[in-house]
Amino acid sequence: MTNKLIHNISSYTLTLAEERLLYRDWNFCVKQKLTKIEDFKTDMELNVMRLERQCHLSIFATICRHMHDYSNKFIKNIRDEEFAAIKYLKNKPNITISRIDKEPTTTTSTTTTSTTTSTTTTSTTTTTSRTTSTTTSTTTSTTTTSTTTTTTTTTTTTTTITTGCGLSSQSTWSQTATTIFGSQAGAYGSNLTLLSSPIGMYYNQPKNMLMVVDNGNYRVLQISLNNTPAVATVIAGSNGQGCNMNQFNVADGIGFDSSGQLYVADYGCNRIVRFPSNSNSTTSGTLLGSITRASLLSINPLTGDIYVVSSVNNAIYKFVNGTGSPVVAAGGNGNGSALNQLLIPNGVYYDYLYTNALYVVDTGNNRVMKFPSNSTNATYGTMVAGGNGAGNETNQLNYPRSIIVDSSGTLYIADASNSRIQRWLQNATSGTTIVGGTRGTASNQLSWPEQILFDRYQNLLVVDRDNNRIQRFNLTTC
């Protein structure tokens, strides 16, 4: 099945097994875990029509062939942890897994109860007749009925985990952007609505929050995208320039691990600093490790591995499981253009969702390199974009800065000197410009784009560094 991007807009935190299942588009649950081919055959015979409808004919034929070839062997169609995870998700009554692109669903039900109350009022009327000596007393009983309506409103919030619109080679974005933070006109500043030379960026999808390295103000800001423009809060730094553990010199890249800890690459202090979750300007971090001229970083949340660029050492370092001394994951063989060398690299992206590969923005060589997940300094990479000298042609890049990868292996590259964002399809020899292309402060222009990300709706977020702003280009076509 085609992998989808998971939008968890609930307060429930998915386990890694649950994430893997949803990325694989598992939105159903098998009744029991199958361990023998006989069980699988029985289950398949009962559901053969459903399989034929939902599976491509070649896949269906493969299943049938495997049933025949391996009838005496054991199979294990799902891991223990995955079976437990999907069973748990299905049995949670307040979790809905669906292919929609909406906010959490709130269902309001109204119950009306009619209560009839009978009240009996007794009055006595005495009638006196002058013609007789008899006094007749008549008692009249009056019954008053009142109806009281009681309305009970019950609000039920259903947690919805949505799989959003998947990107394709035909996806398009608006050519005019909305400034979601910073100055629309490109002015810099130090209050909590402005930026000064922003660089790194991280997007928290469940909370729809953006974290930005405000380099010129020596701080990291957190910005809510639920109501923009917003006033930011400081989550690290903002204590002047320096190398104390509550300061930054030249902060560059940021990332968060699965427990919510913040990591900041401080280029000026040659270090990676870790901050606890819910940190603020008064919080002092702890030193994870020293990296000469640390630039952007990328974290694999499934393993905790942290990849950091060293632009001076022309290498990508990896902190295995987020601890210990860093090891070289790519490059580290001097500066050069060989496939095991890098030249002033700036960006790194580990794609744990789709390709399980390490991508390096080799800035000085104006190219993007791809390395396998277990690469070392001895590994030769594959050039997947650029590499044709600096320039603005479709097969060229000019001082690229960062990269992201979608489910089909398509690359999206921040091409800084060309003030554009390039889309490079898998195995393509040239790219196309999806936004930008001219330098300036207008809403359709960029000036030295640094880091790029997609939000939960696949809108493109761009750190427009020299314009001191964050731009959002809305998705117009999936």
At 200, is the secondary structure helix, strand, or coil? strand
pLDDT for the residue 100: 40
Question: How far is it, in rounded angstroms, from Cα 420 to Cα 447?
Answer: 9
Sign of CA dihedral 40, 42, 48, 50: negative
pLDDT for the residue 426: 95
Q: Residue 95: pLDDT above 90? A: no
User: What pLDDT digit, counting tens, does each position of 166-192 carry?
Assistant: 899 999 999 999 999 999 999 999 999
Question: How far is it, in rounded angstroms, from Cα 39 to Cα 45?
Answer: 10
The side-by-side arrangement of strands in the sheet containing 306-310 is 294-299, 306-310, 315-319, 327-331
DSSP one-letter string for 111-166? EEEEEEEEEEEEEEEEEE-SSSSPEEEEEEEEEEEEEEEEEEEEEEEEEEEEE-PP
Give the pLDDT mean for 360-377: 98
At 326, is the secondary structure helix, strand, or coil? coil
Question: How far is it, in rounded angstroms, from Cα 177 to Cα 419?
Answer: 14
Question: How far is it, in rounded angstroms, from Cα 386 to Cα 429?
Answer: 8
Question: How far is it, in rounded angstroms, from Cα 224 to Cα 231?
Answer: 8
Question: How far is it, in rounded angstroms, from Cα 406 to Cα 423?
Answer: 10
User: What pLDDT digit, counting tens, does each position of 188-238 carry?
Assistant: 999 999 999 999 999 999 999 999 999 999 999 999 999 877 899 999 999
The separation between the first and the last C-alpha atoms of the chain, rounded to the nearest angstrom, is 18
Mean pLDDT of all residues belonging to the chain: 80
Tokens 């990328």 belong to residue: 298
The length of the chain is 478
pLDDT for the residue 111: 35
pLDDT for the residue 230: 84
From residue 340, give the alpha-carbon distance in Å to each of 86, 362, 377, 403. Answer: 41, 11, 7, 19
Question: What are residue 23's phi and psi, to 5 degrees?
Answer: -65, -30
Region of 202 on the Ramachandran plot (φ > 0 left; ψ -120 to 50 alpha; else beta): beta
pLDDT for the residue 434: 98
Question: How far is it, in rounded angstroms, from Cα 223 to Cα 471?
Answer: 13
Q: What angle in degrees, to the nearest 10, is found between the helix axes of 80-91 and 16-23?
A: 80
pLDDT for the residue 147: 43
The burial class, CB within 10 Å (0-12 / 13-18 / 19+), for 184 is middle
**Global pTM?**
0.70
Task: Give residue 4's pLDDT band: very low, low, confident or very high (50, 70, 90).
Answer: very low
Cα torsion through 12, 18, 24, 28, rounded to 10: -90
pLDDT for the residue 165: 75
Question: How far is it, in rounded angstroms, from Cα 423 to Cα 401?
Answer: 14
